[in-house]
Structure 1
Amino acid sequence: GTPSEETNGAKVPMAAAGLFDEFDAALIVHPGARTTVDAASLAIDAIEFTFLGKAAHAAGAPHEGINALDAVISLFNNLNALREHLTSDVRIHGIISEGGVAPNIVPERAVARFYFRAAERAYLNEVVGKAKKVAEAAALATGCRLEMCNFELSFDNLHSNKLLAATYKTHLEALGVTDIESPSGGKGSTDMGNVSQVTPAIHPSMCIGPKTLVGHTHEFCQAAASPEALAAMLVAAKAMALTGLDVLTDSTLRKQIRAEFAAGKR
């Protein structure tokens, strides 16, 4: 593992610098409400839209102002309209991080931050291109100036190596884990996706609590600190170590894993 698997994931610059290129395999396990061995994740771009208008007294001289907040609201509305024409794997969610300073001042600056996600990087690039045109339209309609930038690093979607996952599953079962579920399709994003683009990789999940457990909650935090979670972590660590040993000592397995990875890149 590395710090910050989300937001500015540390593995993104590491992968870009070629640090994983010579690896035979990369494995990481995430705690969760279910045990799976073959996970997926969405590619993600984090885009900040800044609209710049002109301040004016909102009651005394509104005609002198250019309302940047109107542009942000238009952006939200038009992105909501865009959703209808995107595939079901796409996720668009955002916030208004700046929206003005006082009700009696026409906002001269407004900022929105959005996450755009999709199952494949190529399609996400299309989605973000459309979103930027939507932002340009909002700026044009309101008379604002628009600035756009990435406020976090971009993650690629995760390509899970099936043979590597099957090897890990064999060791989980040998260690007594029986409640292994089929993946339901990950809707989150992780910098492990970037690693999986340059070397065979898996990102399974290990159950640490009830099926109702949801990530990024107080309940998940409490579950992660429980004795049950520690026991699950030790089992997952053993299974990863045994999988790594197989990769290191079995040249045939290693070649097959690499062949699957190469086929997926074509």
Structure 2
Amino acid sequence: MWKKVLIVALALVILSAGTCLAAGKEDVYVNVDALQQKLLEINDFIHDNPETGNKEFKAANLLTRTLEQNGFKVETGVAGLETAFVATYVNKTGGPTIGFICEYDALDKLGHGCGHNIIASAGVGAGIALAKSLGDRPATIVVYGTPAEETTSGKLPMVAAGLFDRLDVALMTHPGDRTTVGAKSLALNLIDFIFEGKASHAAASPEKGISALDGVMMLFNGIEYLREHVRSDVRIHGIVTDGGAAANIVPERAAARFYVRSADRGYLDTVVERVHNIANGAAMITGTKVTIKQIKAYDNKVILESLSELLLENAKAAGARQILPPPQSTGSTDFGSVTFRVPGAELGIAFVPVGTPAHSQAYVQAGATPAGHEAVVVAAKTLAASGYDLITDPELLKKIKAEFAATKAPQN
């Protein structure tokens, strides 16, 4: 008889624990709903006041003020970036540290054609809603303001400064034509090649000149030959940024800029080395001098299946629509460099019809529509609920960290 009583009592405890967990996550949704009007105001303000990279003063001020009003301690101007910030909410001591990433820069002459207004409002909403749902659970919530994703890539100096290293997990969203997880990104190096030669009259004394433009053209030719001997995931694309002063002067200066990309950082490093060798060879062949300047470098996103599954399940529960596999083609993002340092994942959230291209007027127009507003709310609920799961389920967090360690381990 006592065994039956014990079994019933144990079942009641388990049922009670499950009920409390569900209630706790329900608090997350309630808190996002309570914030909804404010989040949509933030979304629409940033959308209607587009600011390009490192000039997002209105957006940064609005976001940091909102976070401060909700109990976050805000540090601005981090990593030497005027419009970057780190906002921290500490609930007791110990526990996991969960980060939410915000972007808020617009595209020059287009506006918010990449939906960063949605990223910012959803990220802030997730951070505040989760902080209000913690109860007695020890945890730290950090909201990051990362400027200039489209240009100088604010996350890179923030990564270099170690600002993300304290996180157990980093989460963000990005709007698009589908709700999806596990979307890959390409590692990237952006490189300038500056060739120097010797000016001379191109008709009267060309033999006295050394054409810097010849060096640039040899660089392009060499890269064309390289394409046959690299993996299919490699992308190399460039332009001439300086072709000389006039057609009747042997150019004493010429320059090119190239993006070199690959699916993983390790392989990309070998390709970049080969591109550098081509540039040096082009200079040797043409008698010019070349200066190679790396402008920036991203890592590819480290994809964690367990973390992606968590985001997707919470997106379904939050009412996400247009749930589809990630697109096959991809670009690059400085969030990849964050996921190289700590476990992280990005939720793609639908707000435009399938097939709509990014960096387009269609994205701009949709950013402050009901579809854009829905994306803000669903993404905020998904991110906050996922953060709640990570805080309340130590085994889940342990599993994600183990997968991250295994993924980052050197491959034999």
Interval containing the TM-score (normalised by the shorter chain):
over 0.9
Q: Which residue of 2 aligns with 1:126?
A: 270
d(CA) in 2 for partners of 1:132, 1:72: 13
**2:229 aligned counterpart, secondary structure:** coil
Structure 2: tracts of 5 or more residues without a match: 1-101, 103-145
Structure with the higher fraction of residues in helix conformation: 2
Q: Which residue of 2 aligns with 1:155?
A: 298
Alignment deviations for residues 203-254 of structure 1 (CA, whole Å, 9 cap, x no partner): 2211221222112233332333433122112211110011111111211111
Q: Which residue of 2 aligns with 1:230?
A: 373
Q: Tell me the amino acid that sits aligned with residue 282 of structure 2.
A: A
Give yes or no for contact 1:29–1:203 (8 Å, CA) kept in 2: yes
Matched, 1:98 2:242: yes
d(CA) in 2 for partners of 1:87, 1:157: 16
**1:29 aligned counterpart, secondary structure:** strand
**Aligned residue among 158, 176, 179 for 1:32:** 176
Tell me which moved more, 110-119 or 3-12. 3-12
TM-score by length of 1: 0.95
Tell me which moved more, 88-97 or 33-42. 33-42
d(CA) in 2 for partners of 1:100, 1:219: 38
Alignment deviations for residues 53-82 of structure 1 (CA, whole Å, 9 cap, x no partner): 011111111111111111111111211111
Q: Which residue of 2 aligns with 1:75?
A: 219
Alignment deviations for residues 149-200 of structure 1 (CA, whole Å, 9 cap, x no partner): 112x211110122111111111111122243212234521111111111111
Alignment deviations for residues 74-133 of structure 1 (CA, whole Å, 9 cap, x no partner): 111211111111101101111111111111111110010001000111110100011011
Change in CA separation of 1:239 and 1:248 when aligned onto 2, cut-off 3 Å: same
Matched, 1:214 2:367: no
Q: Which residue of 2 aligns with 1:167?
A: 310
Q: Structure 1: which 4+ aligned runs deviate by more than 3 Å?
A: none
Q: Which residue of 2 aligns with 1:179?
A: 322
Q: Which residue of 2 aligns with 1:86?
A: 230
**1:154 aligned counterpart, secondary structure:** strand
Q: Tell me the amino acid that sits aligned with residue 385 of structure 2.
A: L
Q: Tell me the amino acid that sits aligned with residue 194 of structure 1.
A: S
d(CA) in 2 for partners of 1:173, 1:45: 36
d(CA) in 1 for partners of 2:200, 2:367: 51
**Between Structure 1 and Structure 2, whose CA radius of gyration is higher?**
2
Paired-residue identity, %: 47
Q: Tell me the amino acid that sits aligned with residue 382 of structure 2.
A: A
Matched, 1:198 2:335: no
d(CA) in 2 for partners of 1:66, 1:221: 48
TM-score by length of 2: 0.62
Give yes or no for contact 2:244–2:251 (8 Å, CA) kept in 1: yes
d(CA) in 2 for partners of 1:106, 1:177: 60
Tell me which moved more, 208-217 or 39-48. 208-217
d(CA) in 2 for partners of 1:249, 1:166: 17
Q: Which residue of 1 aligns with 2:207?
A: 63
d(CA) in 1 for partners of 2:368, 2:225: 42
d(CA) in 2 for partners of 1:178, 1:221: 20
Alignment deviations for residues 23-71 of structure 1 (CA, whole Å, 9 cap, x no partner): 1211111111222111111111111100000111111111111111111
How many residues in Structure 1 have an aligned counterpart in Structure 2?
265
d(CA) in 1 for partners of 2:166, 2:393: 17
d(CA) in 2 for partners of 1:52, 1:107: 8
Q: Which residue of 1 aligns with 2:162?
A: 18
Change in CA separation of 1:201 and 1:51 when aligned onto 2, cut-off 3 Å: same
**2:342 aligned counterpart, secondary structure:** coil
Give yes or no for contact 2:321–2:350 (8 Å, CA) kept in 1: no
**2:269 aligned counterpart, secondary structure:** helix
**2:316 aligned counterpart, secondary structure:** helix
d(CA) in 2 for partners of 1:41, 1:32: 15
